[in-house]
Structures are given as structure tokens and as C-alpha cells.
Chain A
Amino acid sequence: MGRPVEHKLTVALAGNPNVGKSTLFNALTGLRQHTGNWPGKTVGVAQGQLDYRDTRFTLVDLPGTYSLKGTSPDEQLAGDYLQENQADCTVVVCDGSCLERSLILALEILMRCPKTVICVNLMDEAMRHGISVCPHKLSNLLEAPVVFTSAGKGEGIPALLEKIRETALQMPKLSLPCWDDPISAAEKIAGECICQNPDCDQSFRRSVDKLLVSRRVGVPFLFLVLLGIVWLTVWGANYPGLLLQSLADYGYGLLSGWATVLPGWLGGLLVDGVYAVCARVICVMLPPMAIFFPLFTALEDIGYLPRMAFLLDPVFARCGGCGKQALTLCMGLGCNAVGVMGCRIIQSPRERLNAILTNAMVPCNGRFPTLILLGSLFFTGSGSALVVAFCVALGVVGAMAVSFLLSKTLSKGEASTFCMEMPPFRRPRLGQILVRSVLDRTVFVAGRALLVAAPAGAVLWALSNTGLLKLVADFLNPVGLFLGMNGVILLAFLFCLPANELLLPVILLSITQAQSLQAVTGVGYALLGSFFTWQMALCTMVFTLFHWPCGTTLMTVYRETHSIKNTAAAFILPTAAGMLLCTLLNFFL
């Protein structure tokens, strides 16, 4: 510390997906990432800074790629960056437990970038698998510096920094090495440097994998995992939800006191409108999300998600999709906007579009409270998680049915192929899970929701205080009744366009005719029971599953597809499905 910065260097981290590149990045920069680590072009790559001795490094975390000639947008970004030689030094991160494959990319990069350091990561994992690598041989054969690291444990980081600094400040090599065929060269080099301990048994790892995809164990286990996640999210969100609610009430008291200095209407607008709605949205959405996303990220970290996609691919293939759609639907349980963004992992454009358009059909956890409350009109006690689980299943079936119809009509075409890497199981790193899920996902989503909830709060307040709310509800009543609901509920759904968390608050506000949301918390919920008939509750639950996606999701669909037509389709498809189902339900009940 305190040493003046003499050199400023840009260092690019490149490597195959899932070789611990981000872990290394975080180990180097100490989690001082200044953007969320979303893969892809629109958000860009993660950058971080660190000072080492007299040098300030700017690290660029490129998306994972298998080859410089990759075809997906993520891979092209990484390829372009490396082709243009923008960095002072390139670090190729290799997987020590799967070195041969990692070396193909390493050779491609060595042939283009004169200042390259080879970092063989995951050495702890390689050791567990009985693999040892000779660093001197590898360095000689590659004609480049080689460093071994175990980024998860922080081993080898200082040595890596020293090598990067040394390489970047050297004169560049005059001639670049050349391998005619990187694939067979990688095979040869790996063969000479790697020593596999014959005593180390691979059969345990393989039998765990076999068990996890078997009919007897794997399939029930998959359902248990999904049910467990939903249950933990629903049950666990109760207590922090109550705590946040009392905090919000306290804040309301304080703010109303301060607002007396403002003109009456402005105070009402800001405190009863904007604050009350924002507080409600946060109270409802934050706890389940703060539970769901770490759980989901943990599954991601362990490596269970690819097994899930593997098991579910046959089911989705029949609906014209692929197993990866199961993962994006699962992400949609947390937030549909995140799920839509996650569709980038699907290579085939046709299947990716289907997955994007149907994602909003699985309920995000902003809709869980509505489903639980309405479900509690039918079931009491611990049945609520079951109600949610049933609704999730219904949503998934709906998404699959619409995908099927789409693949037969609008997005007809060749059934595409499915190709997915199955990484070995890894021990989850708790710290990283929390940081990644809370910072990258939860805060990101909550921030977006607040952005839309604040103006919605103001409008809601203005409407309810001028009596317009009732007027609009009366106007919508015939349509609502036709769909098995009523005008008030339909109006509430319209208000859900900014955020689905608003559904119950708007209904409460309408039926109690109260001035502010804050006033209706306790008594209001008792009123709901007498407001809903069971047919109405059922139709509302169905419409909660299938209606227009929230504004954030629609914005994300537009950003991901760059097409107004597709955004409109994302709006219309679930709405049409919901209207059809509700009309049918209303007709038969």
C-alpha cells in the first residue's frame, strides 16, 4: 500500500466456460466487480481493478468460449476482443481436471496473442481425480509461462500476478508459435504433461452420475429438489416478510410526520402513494427472492442444473424445445426477466424464442403471495406451499403446451440439436453464492421493480383519491365477469403491468376504499375472504399464472430479441391462454 502506481496494465481473462474463470476473477479483484456478471454483449463484460506492487491491473472477464471461431454472441464477443489484441496481457484459464480440452483454446490464443500467461486452474479438483501435471514440460511445449492455481482456495494467486506483470512488461516475442492443427497438438501436449494416477478410482463419480439420472432415484430426486426449493422459499419468506412489514410501518409513521410540512396533496402522493406502494413491493418481493436466488445459485454451483436439463430434455424435445428451457423456466420462478435473459444459453434461435415467449407462464415469486393467499381460501396451514407447487406445475404445462403450438405454427423449422457440457460436481462456495445471487440477481431485480413501482404508486393514489378507481372498475366489470372475475380484479391485473406484487394491494385498496395502502394491512385481509367466491378465486389464480408479463419482463424481451413483434407476442400469448382458460372455467363452474 502507498506505493505509487508506475504501470497500468489491462489483462484479459479467457477460457472455456465453467473453468472457474469468475472465481479467479473474484479472487484477484476481491469481489470489486463494478457490473453484474451477466453473460453477453448488451451488458458487456465484467471489469475489475487491483493494485499489485507498482502496477494497477484492470481485469476484463471475458465470457467463456470453446474456440475463437465460436458462433454464439457470447463467444463472438470473447473472440473479437482477443483477435483485436486489446489487452496488455491475456490469461488463458485452463481446467486442470480437463486440460486436454482447455489446451485447444489455449493454443488458438497463443498463436494470436504474443503476451499470454497460461493459468491451469482447478488444480485441487484435478488432484482429487488423481491427475498431476508437469508445469515445466507444459511451459516448454507451449513456449509460454505456466502458473497453477486453485482459485476457490486462493492458492497460486500471488504467483499468477507476478507472472502477469513480468509477461506484460517484457518485450513481446518476435515470432508467434504456430500449430497446424490445435486439436491434435493439444492431445499430444496433454499426453506428454499429464500423469493419471491409476489407483484413483473414477467409478464412484460415474455411479453418482448414473444414479442421478436414473428412473428410480433420479426422477423422484428431481421433483423433491424442485418442491423443496418452492417450499423453502414460501415458508422461509414469512418471517423476514413480517419483519420488513413492521419496518415499513415504522417508516410510514415517520414519513407521515415529516410530510405535514408539505401541501396535503403532495404529502399524500409521496407518502401514501409512492412510499406505501414501494414499501409493499419490497416487503412482498425481497424475502422470497433473497431465499430463492441463493438456493438456485447453489444448485448452479454444485452442477446439478445440467443434470436437470439432461433429465428433462426428452420431455421438452417433444414440445419442440430443449432441456435448457427447463433451466430458464426454473430461473423464471425467481424472476421472469432473469429467466428471459437466461435464455441466452439456448443456442438454436427458434427454441430460444419459444423459451423467451413462454417464460412468463411460470409464476415468479412476486406472484407467489397472491397464489398463497387465494390458495388459503381452499386450504389451510401448510397446504400453501402445495398450492404454489401445483400452480408452478400448471404454469410449466402451459409453457410447454404453448411452446408446442408455436413450434408447429409460427416458428416452424428444423428440430435443432442439443449439446450441453456436463461439468463434474463441485463443492459450493458459500461466500460466492451469496454475493453473486444477492448482488447480481436480487438487488438488480428489486431495483428494477422499484423503478416501476414508484410511478405506479403515484397513479394509484391519484386514482383512488379522485374516485376514478371505482369508476374504472365499474367500467371493466362486464369483461371481468365474463372471465369469471370482476372489474376490481381485472383493474388490479392492469395495475400489475409495472409489477405483479401490486395485485393484492390494489384489490385491497379498491374494496376497502381506504386512503392509503398502509391503513389496510390487518383488517383488509379478512375482507378478502368475503370478497372472493371460490369460483372467482380459482379464475384469479389461473389468470395470475397466465396474463401479460410485467413491464420489466417485457422490456427484457425487447432487449433480448430487438423486435416489437416478439415483445407483442410475449404479451399476447399468455394473455390469450389465460382468457381462454378463465372463460372456459367460468362457463363450466
Chain B
Amino acid sequence: MPLEMGLDKLPLGIPGQVTQMAENMPLTQRLNQFGLVPGTRICCRYRTPGGSVTAVEFRGAVVALRTRDMAAIRVEV
């Protein structure tokens, strides 16, 4: 039974797969260029001490995002 959640809730080190991304957002467009689209396998790697910025890994690259913005990306585990 797959579990769906916002990417901001995905615990560090647990791999997930993107199911849905908020459309018409500048961040979504940017991430699409980076190769992050629905279906991409993704994993959160590390956070800042306060937890407000997270480094996520997908397609072999690591990208830093604000945790708050990551709620717009839905993933399933």
C-alpha cells in the first residue's frame, strides 16, 4: 500500500517517487529543467540545523530547496 505525502514530510534517507507537482509555479518550472518531473525517484539527504532548508537527491544530483516550498511536491513511498 503506497503512502502519499508532501516531499517536506519525507524523512531523510527514505527514497520516494514524485507523483504530482503544483503547476504554474516558478519553482516547478525550474525543477522541471533540473529533470524533476512526476515519476522521478527522489530522496532527502540533509537539512540545515533549523530544518528550513533541505538537500534532495534525484537523478544523481543534489539540489537544495526550502522545506516549506517542498510541500508543493507530492511523493509516494
Contacts and interface: CB of A to CB of B under 8 A. Distances in A.
Interface in B37-63: 37, 39, 45-50, 52-53, 55, 59-63
A498 interface: no
A416 B25 CA distance: 10
A187 B45 contact: no
A101 B48 CA distance: 25
A215 B50 CA distance: 9
A69 B33 contact: yes
A445 to B, nearest CB: 30
B64 to A, nearest CB: 5
Interface stretch (A310-318, A333-341, A479-487): A310-318
Contacts of B63: 419-422
Contacts of A104: 35
A317 B53 CA distance: 10
B39 A184 contact: yes
B49 A209 contact: no
B34 to A, nearest CB: 6
Interface string A416-432: 11111111100000000
B15 to A, nearest CB: 13
If over half of B's interface residues share one DSSP class (helix, strand or loop), that class is named, otherwise mixed; here it is: mixed
B55 A70 contact: no
A419 B30 contact: yes
A209 B26 contact: no
A213 B53 CA distance: 11
A423 to B, nearest CB: 8
Contacts of A20: none
Contacts of B26: 416-417
Nearest to B63: A421
B27 A417 contact: yes
A421 B65 CA distance: 9
B69 A101 contact: no
B33 A70 contact: yes
Given A66-B33, A419-B30, A101 B61 contact: yes
A309 B32 CA distance: 22
Contacts of A323: 53, 64
A98 interface: yes
Interface residues of A, number: 41
B66 interface: yes
A418 B64 contact: yes
Contacts of B35: 66, 100-101, 104, 183, 186
B33 A209 contact: no
A186 B66 CA distance: 27
B62 A421 contact: yes
A66 B30 CA distance: 9
B55 A310 contact: yes
Interface in A58-81: 66-67, 69-71
A419 B65 contact: yes
Given A101-B59, A187-B59, A313-B52, A71 B29 contact: yes
A100 B40 CA distance: 12
Which residue of A71, A104, A416, A418 has the most chain B CB atoms within 10 A of its CB atom?
Answer: A418
B59 to A, nearest CB: 4
A306 B31 CA distance: 18
Contacts of A403: none
User: Most A CB atoms within 10 A — which of B26, B31, B53, B65?
Assistant: B53
Interface in A198-227: 206, 209-210, 213-215, 218-219
Given A186-B35, A209-B55, A310-B55, A215 B49 contact: yes
A101 B46 contact: no
A565 B66 CA distance: 32
Contact of B65 (A100, A183, A418, A423): A418
B52 A310 contact: no
Nearest to A70: B33
Contacts of A186: 35
Interface of A: 66-67, 69-71, 97-101, 104, 183-184, 186-187, 206, 209-210, 213-215, 218-219, 306, 309-311, 313-314, 317, 323, 347, 416-424
Given A67-B33, A311-B49, A424-B62, 10 more contacts: A98-B61, A187-B59, A209-B55, A213-B55, A310-B48, A310-B53, A311-B48, A347-B30, A417-B27, A417-B30
